[in-house]
Structure 1
Amino acid sequence: MKLYQIDAFTKNIFSGNPAAVCPLEEWLTDEMMQNIAAENNLSETAFYVKNGAKYEIRWFTPTVEVDLCGHATLAAAYVLFNYENHKDSLINFYSSRSGDLMVTKEDDLLSLNFPSDVFEAVELTNQLLDAFDVKPKKAFKGKTDYMIVFNDEEEILYLKPQFDKIVKLGVRGVIATAPGNNVDFVSRFFGPQSGIDEDPVTGSAHTTLIPFWAKELNKSKLSAIQLSERRGYLECELLENSVRISGYARCYLIGDLFL
């Protein structure tokens, strides 16, 4: 079985967020897909099966299946456009957990169209305050994550998360964000609950980040950096009921699985 490893949201290998992509003729068992994801030991492994004009897609961390993963969807699109003979400039993915997801290609730039998150302000509880070494300004709760807002880029860059506290929050993960120095906003994402202490670049987190910062900054097109060690660069746009998350990808590895 073919396997690709793609670095997403970057123009250079060894940066961005690596994802494994496994094209399938038909679905494997959940146990087998989880075992492959654990063996890959990347933040996500994407599996897809062509079904008519669409591609059904699922995403697994080393420990759990997740509802939505932006960088692995970008990686799967990169594989289809460049290696698996998808001829059109549009790919329609379908997830039973997240619905229809579109990816378009313009030259080398890939754009995800994802539903906007629905989130609301929440109290800065002691649980949230104890999870970081710096006090945030405010907190929000979306469908799957907390989003914690800080004062500036330096606070995000040097933030020290307390993973033993974050893991007890009862959400998929925590987004930490602030205004950027040279971009509109910066972020980091912590998800020890999902088996990833810090995710290098988290496309799905931007379904929360984009609507928030679009309102805060009063603009619909935004630039962003995820300030992980590997760094990720995203071009963002708020649409009517969705967000456009754009970036580049590069292939690191093509191999075969022996199962």
Structure 2
Amino acid sequence: MITDAVHAADARLAHASDTLVGCDPVRDIIGEINQDAAYAVQSLGIARRIAAGRRVVGRKIGLTSVVVQNQFGVRSPDYGVLMDDMMLDDRQSVDLARFIAPRVEAEVAFVLGHDLESPTSHVADVIRATEFVLPAIEIVDSRIAGWDIRITDTISDNASGGALVLGTTPRKLDGFDLSAVGMSLEFDGEPVSTGSGVACLGNPIIAVAWLARAVARHGQPLRAGEVVLSGALGPMVAAQSGVYRARLDGLGEVRVDFAAASTEGARA
């Protein structure tokens, strides 16, 4: 339901996005636990971007780590939407001034070959529907100043979505155990985060099955051709100028080069 509070929360986040100045949390408007209201705020933001000419290219899953779930006091992940202007090329140079307070994490990206329309989709459905997987770097960014967020803040803010970088060597799922995939994220050649597929709800495939059920129940099922970011394989790290390279066992690598901000942008 789109209430006055939902509109007010959306307006606050929109202003932060337009000005690149972090705003106050929106939980003071919609409350700390009302996820339905938070997804309504998210939907307004997505609709505004579509009206401005952007298009949906996929979805992203957040809060797949039990440790992070405990931090937010929730027992399930959340999700957001990937737009075409969030997609970056492997090895692309990206201006830090594009973001407010960016952080980096490594993930497995799924590219779907078939729709997942059922609210009871399970892991076998996901395996059948997946065309291939790719290594990915997600750049998360919060419009909330200082990352002072709770569950309704991050859902409202499109699951703190910023941008994503996809690797370029596709891998089929046949006989490939994603739970055993090891991950190393390096900054200028030095490891800054490590993890594995098991950190993502036990297996990234399980995370995508959760997402498929959740979005189908809300009438927005996953579609063929969409990219799905399945959740972090290890801790996120704050972004700074330099090169971040994610190496995922059996999937190859992907990198992004953050250029020093070309203009003096506001930082929250």
Q: TM-score, structure 2 length as denominator?
A: 0.28
| Higher-strand-fraction structure | 1
Structure number with the bigger relative contact order (C-alpha 8 A, sep ≥ 6) is 2
Q: TM-score, structure 1 length as denominator?
A: 0.28
| Higher-helix-fraction structure | 2
